[in-house]
Structures are given as C-alpha cells and as structure tokens.
Amino acid sequence: SYLQMSTANPKQNKGQHNIRIKLKDFLHQWDLSSKKQRTTILERFCSHFKTKINDNNIHQVDKELGEVAPLFFSRILSSFQMNHENPNLVPGHIGTILIYLQSSNSKEYGERFVNAGGIQLTLYVLQHRCIYAADIQCQSLFIIKIIIKIIINI
C-alpha cells in the first residue's frame, strides 16, 4: 500500500508531481530524516491531507495511513517537543497536528496531544508572538479550541 503525495517540484516550475511512499517505509524515512527533510515531509503531508476531507470536513488520515497513522502522530508530538522553540520547524508540526485533530479519531489524538504536553507547547508558541507568524498563532489558537471541544465531550 502506498501514500501518494502531490508536491511542487523545486526543479520544475511546471506545477505538481506525485510522490509515492510505501507505507511500511514511511516511518523509517521519517526516522532517518534530518530536520530539514522532516520539514519537507510535514509540508507535503499537510498539502496532501488538506485536500483529503470528507463531506463533514473530517480529514481522512486514518483511512489512508491505517496503522501507521497513530505511530506517525507519536513521532510528530515527540518532534514538536524537541523543536517547539524553532520558528522554522513549528509551522509543519502545527499544521500536521491540526490535521490529526480534525480526523475521524480526533478524540484519541486529542487525548494523546494533551498527555504529551501539547497544550503547554502550543501555549509556548502563543506566548512568543514576536517569534511566530500570525498564521501560526491563529492555527495554535485553533488547536486549543479543538482540544477544549474534545475535553468537553469526553
């Protein structure tokens, strides 16, 4: 099974091309990647899944990634913990976390996010307005809003 992501090719200005990653290799590629490569993976992940929304505005992460989805989310949370002070790395993490929190298993991911200290990391981003762009601040507030809704419904 493959994860197929459309991404802009930096060598070609002609538009988009598809990248196919074997799901069994997806986590292995993440684990071996540098910070710069991980940023690219997160950007591609976000651009891919922003188009994979059903009629209820729910992202299809679990449907497409299967058993890899929760394992990748754990890696995202760990990476966010280690890199939350780096303004170049935070946007991809925030975008990916938002996609997970708007997926069909949002309750599970929300609980894991809270238990991993995600609220504190998000508050760090919000507290440091001079470092992070306005859109990252807005996305961070949206994360807090989603988490509050999840907690209220637990």
Asked whether residue 2 carries a pLDDT value surpassing 60, the answer given is no
Give the per-residue pLDDT at 64. 86
Please determine, for residue 108, whether its predicted confidence score (pLDDT) is greater than 60.
yes
Confidence band of 48 (pLDDT split at 50, 70, 90): confident
**Pairing mode, if any, of strands 2-8 and 16-22?**
antiparallel
What is the model's pLDDT at position 49?
86
Q: Over 50: is that where the pLDDT of 9 sits?
A: no
The reported pLDDT for the residue numbered 51 is: 76
Q: Is the pLDDT of residue 18 over 50?
A: no
Where is average pLDDT lowest: 2-6, 68-72, 127-131? Answer: 2-6
Neighbours of 93 (CB within 10 A): 26
Percentage of the chain surpassing pLDDT 70? Answer: 80
pLDDT averaged over the chain? 85
Neighbour-count burial for 114-128, b at 16+ CB within 10 Å, e otherwise: eebebbebbebbeee
Could you tell me the pLDDT band of residue 77, with boundaries at 50, 70 and 90? very high
